Structure 1
Amino acid sequence: MFNEIESYYLKPGEIFYSEEPAMVRTVLGSCVSITMFVPRFKIGIISHCMLPSSQDAIHRGEDAMKYVDCALLYMNKKIINSGAEKRETEVKLFGGSNMFTIADADSGVGIKNVNSAINLIKKLGYGIVSSDTGGNFTRKLFFSFDTGKVYLRKISKIQGM
């Protein structure tokens, strides 16, 4: 299946949107990926967000898509502009690990990313159909723009180094 369609690697701070079949892969630690898929149109979008809120940004002119709030607002706009309805959009959330032993699991950037994503997804009027967040390990994701499925592999911190 992976060899039959175009494959892309999504780096931190990037978003990938497609109306064509594709496979997008990424690796997450404390970052989060949000996927949106509309089965009726077979369109999808995936983000790789590093930080919870652009309000925390000191410098302007940075890549805004590295922030959960900016990425989700952009993703919402792409879905709405496609003609899809929110109720038919499958939203999934992944990542947000506590990758640093010095950070408290409840106050680290990973949990802040997850909470920011959940709150804005709900505020925008979407439901989350699937998620895998938290923990203290790396996740490798594969997102199929043909089916909307997300394939997930958890990697221990030792293997990921």
Structure 2
Amino acid sequence: MDLNNSDIPHVFLHTGDAFIGVKPTIVSTVLGSCVSISMFSSQLQQGAICHAFLPSRKEINPDKQVSIQICRYVDTAVDYLLECMTRIGANKSRLEVKIFGGSSGLTLSKVRAPNFFSVGDRNVKMAFKCLAEKGLHPKSMDVGGNVGRKILFATHTGDIWLKRLDKQTLLKNNLSPHD
């Protein structure tokens, strides 16, 4: 499929946002330590995707107040995507789930934080934990490592195209490695 010459609309997914594709749409986003989780119903030919920034709302907001950006956190993003997909009629047991992102080493500075501060790794672990709690298991994934990723998600087919981005690619294209 030629995505550039398609009549299908394209949208860019920003940090903390989600997109629920009830009409065919190509959703793109750029990930560093953030994670994108997609859910797709082949029965409905509809999908949803999020761009989560931090592992858990409880780490930042222990009072459990509702955030303006519910998909800012992996734990609340999983709940939100699943709620949206079931609300439009998707069968939870037949959802195709995919996870991308969670880079741990992508930085343009020379200062490195210890591994226990690695937001990317914590984001990925939280995604697996939350999905498992809901009985969902990723069909495919590309997570971790020390490269960024640009992904394109077709909401009507569930297909995802991936491009890995190293530091030179980010600098050349004026992309930020910081989610």
Q: What range describes the TM-score normalised by the shorter chain of this pair?
A: over 0.9
Which range moved further: 81-90 or 36-45?
81-90
Unmatched tracts of structure 2, length 5 or more: 172-179
1:124-160 CA-partner distances (Å, limit 9, x unpaired): 1111100000011110000001211000000112221
* Structure 2: distance between partners of 1:158 and 1:105: 23
1:85-111 CA-partner distances (Å, limit 9, x unpaired): 122100000000012451344640000
Partner of 2:170: 160
* Structure 1: distance between partners of 2:167 and 2:93: 37
Unmatched tracts of structure 1, length 5 or more: none
Distance 1:62 1:21, change over 3 A: closer
1:55 to 58, 61, 75: 58
Partner of 1:66: 72
Q: How far apart are 1:62 and its partner, in Å?
A: 4.5
Which range moved further: 49-58 or 28-37?
49-58
Matched residue count = 161
Length-normalised TM-score, structure 1: 0.93
Partner of 1:118: 128
Matched residue of 1:78: which SS? helix
Matched residue of 1:51: which SS? coil
2:90 to 62, 84, 90: 84
Partner of 1:109: 119
The root-mean-square deviation of aligned C-alpha atoms, in Å, is 1.6
Length-normalised TM-score, structure 2: 0.84
Which range moved further: 130-139 or 57-66?
57-66
Residue 46 of structure 2 contacts residue 157 of structure 2 at CA under 8 Å; is this kept in 1?
no
Aligned AA (2:73): Y
Identity of aligned residues (%): 35
Matched residue of 1:72: which SS? helix
Residue 136 of structure 1 contacts residue 157 of structure 1 at CA under 8 Å; is this kept in 2?
no
Any runs of at least 4 consecutive aligned residues in structure 1 with deviations exceeding 4 A, and if so which? Answer: 58-62
* In the alignment, structure 1 residue 43 sits paired with structure 2 residue 56: no
- Which structure: larger Rg? 2
Which range moved further: 102-111 or 146-155?
102-111
